[in-house]
Structure 1
Amino acid sequence: MTMWTALGRAVAATLLVLCAATARAEPADPCAVPGYLLFGESLLQRVGATATNEKALKIVVLGGSSASLPGPDGVSFAFPARLEVALRRRLPNLKVSVATDIRFRQTAEQMVDDIEKLVTDQKPNLVIWQTGTYDALHGIDPEEFRSAVSEGVEKLQSAGVDVVLMNMQYSPRTDSVVALTAYVDAIRWVAREREVPVYDRLAIMRHWYDAGQFDLYAATKDMKMAKSVHDCIGRTLAASIIDAARLEPQEEKSQEGTSPR
C-alpha cells in the first residue's frame, strides 16, 4: 500500500467519523435568536435586588389578546405561563409568579389610566407591557402613542416597578397591510428615554420566519405551532430578564438539549 493510498483511506475514515457525528448531533434549537435582537444594555436593577434580597419575583404581563391562546388549555401554553416555567426552571431558588392583565381592544393611553390600580392590587416587581398593535390598527397618532407609553413607564418606575416594553407580533399575512414602523420606533424612543429594555417581538418572530424556524402563515391555524412560538417567546424572554437583572441561572435544558441564550 502506497503512502497516498494510506492517506486517502485516513481522510475517508475521518470524513465518515465527521458524517456520523453530524448525524448524531442535536437538532437546531427552534428558539435560537441572534444576540443583537435581545435586550440591550438597560438593566432590571429592581428585579435583581428583589430576587437577591427577597428570593421572590412577581411579574405582570400587561397587554392585549396576544398574551393568550384560544382553547381551554390556552392559558397554560401562552407565553406568560411559559415564561413562568422557564424562570422557575432556571431560578429554582426563587419564588416566581407571572400573572396577566389582559386588556382587550385598548390603546396604550387607555391602559395607562389603570396602571396605578394594577400596581396597588398586584404589587409586581416587573411589568412586561406589550402594546402598539391596537393603536396601529386604529391609526392612533404615533406621537400620542409615544407620549402615552412614556407616561405609563414613568408611572410604573415611580411606583418602584421595573418595566420591559414588548412590541407587536410579526405576521407575514399583515406585514404589508398594517403600518407598524412609527409605533415600533416610538417604543424604542421611550425605551431609550426611560432606560428600560425592549423585547423586540416583531423582529424576533420575523427572524424565526425568515430563517425557516417557524411557518408563521400556518401558526394562525396550527395550534401546535402557535404553542411552540409562545414557548420560545417565554424562553427567550426569561433568558433576557435573567441577563438584564444580572441573576445567576441554572442552564436550561430544552427537549433538544439546547438553550435559547
Structure 2
Amino acid sequence: MNRSRAISAAFMARALPAVFSLLLAAGPSPAMADMSRACHVPDALLVFDARLTRISRLVDHSQPVRILRIRAFQDGPEAKTLNSELAHRLPDVRFTIIEEYPQPGDAEDDFAQIRTAIDETDPDLVIWQLGTGDALASTDLDSFSQTLGHAADWIERRDVDLVLVDPPFVPNVAHERLYRRISAWIDAISRRERMNVVNQYDATHYLLSKRTAATPTTSPSALPSPAPARPHCMTELMAEAIVRAATR
C-alpha cells in the first residue's frame, strides 16, 4: 500500500475550520455511558476509519493485549489510567501497556525508534503520538507524509495495529498555528488511507470551546481549568475509540 501521495495544503487550510464548525454544531453523542460528562465530545471524534483487526481477534477470544505507546512527552494520561479505562470497558481482557519516550525529534526519528521498540516488545497495538516535533520544526509536509506512510506500511506488515494521536490544541501560544497545520495534514492522510487517529487537536479544541461557552452567570473562576482536564479526558476518549474499533 503506497501512502506517499501528496495532499493539497490549500485544501486543508480551507477544510479544517469547516470540519471543526461541523463538530461544534453536532454536539456530544448521546450514547456515552462510559464517558465522564465533562469529557463528552461529538461521536465523530470517537470513530476510527478502520477496524483494529489484530485487537479485534484478541478481544473476541478474551486474549491478553499488549500495547506499545509512543509518547511525545511525559505529561498527560499515565499508562495505568489508560489501562483502567480499557479494563473498565473490556473487563475480560488483560491489557499490558509499555510506554516509550523517543528522544525529541521528528516523525522520521520516531520511526527509527519505533522499529526497535516493536522488535523488543512484540506489541499487538502501537499508539503513536506524533507531529509535535514536526510542527515546531516546520517539517516539509510531503516528507512527513512519506515518513508516515512508510511507517504505517512497515507496522502493518508485522500484523500490528496502529493508532495515531495528533498534537493537542494549545490556545494563546505562538506555535498553535503550527499544531493546527500538522494536525490537518495528519487528518487528511488518515482519511485518505483509512488510518486510525485519535483527533486530540479537535477534541481538546472542542472541550475548551464547550467550557468557554458556559452560561454568562457562571463565574470564570468556577470553570474547570483546561490543562488538568485535558489528560483525563484524552485517556477516556482514547480508550473509548479503541474499544469501539475493536468490537464493531
Instruction: Tell me which structure has the larger Cα radius of gyration.
Output: 1
The residue number in structure 1 matching 2:113 is 114
2:81 is the counterpart of 1:82:
yes
* 1:230 CA drift (Å): 1.2
Q: TM-score, normalised by structure 1?
A: 0.71
Instruction: Within 5 Å, give how 1:121-200 maps onto structure 2.
Output: 121-174=120-173, 177-200=176-199
* 1:39 CA drift (Å): 2.3
Alpha carbons of 1:81 and 1:43: their partners in 2 closer, same or farther (altered >3 Å)?
same
Q: How many Å separate the matches in 2 of 1:183 and 1:156? A: 21
The residue number in structure 2 matching 1:30 is 38
2:56 is the counterpart of 1:48:
yes
AA matched with 2:59: A
Q: How many Å separate the matches in 2 of 1:189 and 1:144? A: 15
Q: TM-score, normalised by structure 2?
A: 0.74
What fraction of aligned residue pairs are identical, expressed as a percent? 21
| Kept in 1: contact 2:48–2:241 (CA 8 A) | no
Alpha carbons of 1:38 and 1:79: their partners in 2 closer, same or farther (altered >3 Å)?
farther
AA matched with 2:53: Q
The residue number in structure 2 matching 1:244 is 245
* 1:119 CA drift (Å): 1.3
Q: How many Å separate the matches in 2 of 1:91 and 1:214? A: 34
Point out where structure 2 has 5 or more consecutive residues left out of the alignment: 1-35, 215-224
Instruction: Within 5 Å, give how 1:198-213 maps onto structure 2.
Output: 198-212=197-211
Q: How many Å separate the matches in 2 of 1:100 and 1:122? A: 10
| Larger displacement relative to structure 2 (145-154 or 180-189) | 180-189
Q: How many Å separate the matches in 2 of 1:57 and 1:154? A: 21
* 1:90 CA drift (Å): 1.7
* 1:182 CA drift (Å): 3.5
The residue number in structure 1 matching 2:100 is 101
Supply the RMSD in Å over aligned alpha carbons: 2.4
Q: How many Å separate the matches in 1 of 2:236 and 2:88? A: 10
Q: How many Å separate the matches in 1 of 2:174 and 2:44? A: 22
The residue number in structure 1 matching 2:23 is none
* 1:176 CA drift (Å): 6.4
* Secondary structure in 1 matching 2:98: strand
* Secondary structure in 1 matching 2:164: strand
* Secondary structure in 1 matching 2:65: strand
The residue number in structure 2 matching 1:259 is none
Instruction: Within 5 Å, give how 1:217-232 maps onto structure 2.
Output: 226-232=227-233
Q: How many Å separate the matches in 2 of 1:206 and 1:134? A: 20
Point out where structure 1 has 5 or more consecutive residues left out of the alignment: 1-27, 70-76, 216-223, 248-261
Q: How many Å separate the matches in 2 of 1:214 and 1:134? A: 31
- Number of aligned positions between the proteins: 203
| Kept in 1: contact 2:47–2:245 (CA 8 A) | yes
